[in-house]
Structure 1
Amino acid sequence: MMTVMVLCYTGPVTNQTPPPVLRFAPSPNGHLHLGHAYSALLNASIARELGGRLLLRIEDIDITRCRPDYERALREDLAWLGLEWDEPVRRQSEHFGDYARALDRLQALGVLYRSYASRKEIAMAIAGQEWQGDPDGAPLYPREALRAIDDPAQHGPQAAFTLRLDMERALELAPPLGWKEYRPDFTAAETVPAEPEKWGDVVLSRKEFPTSYHLAVVVDDALQGVSHVVRGRDMLHATAIHRLIQHLLALPEPAYHHHPLILGQEGEKLSKSIASKSLRALKAEGATPGDIRKLVGM
């Protein structure tokens, strides 16, 4: 008998509509920069205007790069900006069981499969071909070319594998999907059609990380009762994957707003990986919280 997992917000039952819930969810793998400051301040501002709550979530599924000292630093930086959030703070690394149960549910639906191919084997399978990429530019997984490698009969029980979403099967179980993309004041929205097929068979779990961002963010938002997702436009297209997973797991659909990004002097996206100047560095140079607000247009 199949056990159906139910993910839901389990707050008090009342006749009143619960207040909106927003979240700021950084990864503690480096120091926060102006882009983070803008997103955090915008979430706090919208939560205040809507009479809602702001959560802080630590997205630390990459336990090899995320560090406690970075988490302490980001808390200090957010407090310096004048932000407050509800406690307790959810750390993804403490909730791998929640993601495992979601994977079990997807497995029961028949929308997951094991991928044993290495990055080198994937690259060899598409070498010399004009191969379609996903919205982030990564090549779609060449499942047909790797069927022999991905045959579980060719591998022992200890072989490392990645769990991928069988996009074709998943789409058979879902109606046409979309989401409401709201203005910053959440008074008006347009419907954006979701096109998850553009992402191909996305990774939902791998040996070194028992969940992916796509799965964890959907599960976390549901369990925390997040009603309004406010994040950067670099995540706009990924919402198609999130809407599909929400449908498969029978989870609620939040209201979305994808805000403009804060760019560097050369028009580049700010990033920890390219050592964009951190809030800590700006503070050390004498910047005040008011200066940071002006720098990000608030």
Structure 2
Amino acid sequence: MKSVVFLLIGIFLVGCNKAEETHVKNPVIHMGFNKPVQNLLKESPVEFSKDCMDTVDMCWYKIQNPSSSSNLPSVNISLDNKTLNINQVSDITTAVSKEFGENLSNLKLTLRGLPDNSPHKDQRDFIYALINSIKAVGWQHYFFPSDPRVSGSQAKKINSPDDVLGFYVSSHPWLDPDYEMDMDSWLKVGSFYNWYFFKDGVHLNLRAWRKNSKDTPGERGTYLITLNFKTEELYWLSGFEEKNERRNWRELLPARLKKYAEMRQEREEKVRAAGIEVDESYQDPQIKALEK
């Protein structure tokens, strides 16, 4: 009888040890773009779920946790020998297909931010702290190629958070990551905030969705924060919708870039005429895919 008891205790202890080995407290997931997704899946301390759609030959790999979890992972993204560390990540998603290739080319992270209905000022400060951590490892402000190169230094000369002199721009001066908005401007932005970055062949869109408190809309709100990464190939490929265009996007892209450059030049002429400075020092990042 004693031997049976000892055997059961031994099995129980082995089971506990295995549970401890598989349950990692606040795990860190290391990711590298242009490296096989299968390597990520094998090496991740947290298991990804898999959801495939045969009709489009695509699979989605996900990690999903409630934002209230006490054991959310961190994600480390290494580029150019520097690592961007993102803490308290509730959701992670990447997609793989024959069109995209087998390497990591896209990534969406959803973060646990401040508690619901926190003061807008605290939410703003939290997001700018995140922006500063992104910039600290070499990510730089990205202007869309058709947008005028108007930096946040000119924000006070722009009256609307959506457009510049009447034409819509994605890289709006109010949302230049190198300049912080005051609270008055912050609250004038609509439901979505978008900051754009570029580094070493990868694009990053930091997005925050704001929902104002019902009781004190001008003082408090709930924010959902996501980071969307795309390699430059996927970034430019996603601008082509037709199958034939997507197949030949490298050949078609130069003509599209020329059109964008003409739009930028026209807009910058209007901007200068209105007394708004253009950031001449900004140069579009080279597109490595066109050099192949």
Q: Please classify the TM superposition score into its range, dividing by the shorter chain length.
A: under 0.3
- In terms of Rg, which structure is larger? 2
Q: Which one has more relative contact order, counting CA pairs under 8 Å at least 6 apart?
A: 1
Higher share of residues assigned strand: 2
